[in-house]
Amino acid sequence: MSNVTQLRNTGGFTRMDNQLMEALAAVHLSPAEFKTLHAIARITIGFQLQERRITADEVAKKTNMLPAHASRAISSLLARRVLYRVGGSRGEIGICDPAEWIYQETKNRKSTKPKSVETTKIGNLATVTKLPISDDSHLYTKEIPLVTVPSEQITAPQGGEPAQVEKDSEVSFNGEDFQVSSDLITKWAKAYAPVDVETEIVRAAAWASANRPKKDWRRFLVKWLGSAHRKAAGTVNEAGVPVDQIIDLYHRVCPNLPAVTVKTDKALRSMIVERWNEAEAHKSGKSFWLPYFEKANNRSQVFYRGQNVVPRLEALVSRAVFREISEAQQ
């Protein structure tokens, strides 16, 4: 019975040089270093590449390690000539000829790792960890010496394209609509009250889809909401609007819902004014607001500021909730 399993190429395979396989069997590596070397071999040799730009995050995902541990393992493999890097600290990584490897790590009589971690303070920032300088900090670079690059290129690999900025996981724009996380909507709704955040985001998307600006979208929306908040603060006019009567009617019709404790709340009063002026039907007074509050009184919760909450007047006069209840069948 043969102990050689026939290769069935159902999902592809990686060809490995015999000398490299023998070197892997002979070299003394820690588990983290071995997993890191295996991952880098798959990323380079597995795709018929001699070298490639590889980040610690990429290795960490493939090896199920923390990025810091992957980075430390890469540094150790570079120091032992198992790996080489072309260019500076962001250059491409490849696997050295096994003849160059340091197979047994030499133990230092005096450890280069600090017994305690130093901290430092940068400007007005909070205290941050100060990384120690050790022998492991001097990484092995092959073929191309380390060069000084202009500060505007410091975020890019030497000789490569600028690094891509990671997309904001809480704010994205597909060209037509914004996708904003509910937690961020809740946060903005509190910060920019009485602005209807969800409606302003829709307006901002309509403008952005027509103008196609290249933006940091989170910053763009914050500026947009700030502008809307400044406009709302200066345009509230209660003339001809029975704000206090509407609040009293809410208390009478909805005795089991949370009461308004601060009737002078500018955010609440401005939303009532906005709903009153939105349509002629809303200005009919009790004939509109009484049945509206009766329908609202039957609700156990409403979706407001990105979450389900117990109905209260502030939520009931927000644009989305107001429209949803007023258009609902009795």
Kindly report, residue by residue over 271-330, the tens digit of the pLDDT. Answer: 888 888 888 888 888 889 999 999 999 888 888 877 888 888 988 988 888 988 888 865
β-sheet bridge partners, residue 83: 95
Q: Where are the domains of the chain?
A: 18-100, 171-235, 243-327
Tens of pLDDT, residue by residue over 73-109, are 998 898 888 998 887 777 889 898 888 888 887 665 5
pTM for the full predicted model: 0.36
- According to DSSP, residue 141 is labeled B
Helices (H), ranges, the chain? 18-26, 31-44, 56-63, 67-79, 182-191, 197-211, 217-235, 243-253, 266-278, 286-297, 313-316, 319-327
| CATH no. of 18-100 | 1.10.10.10
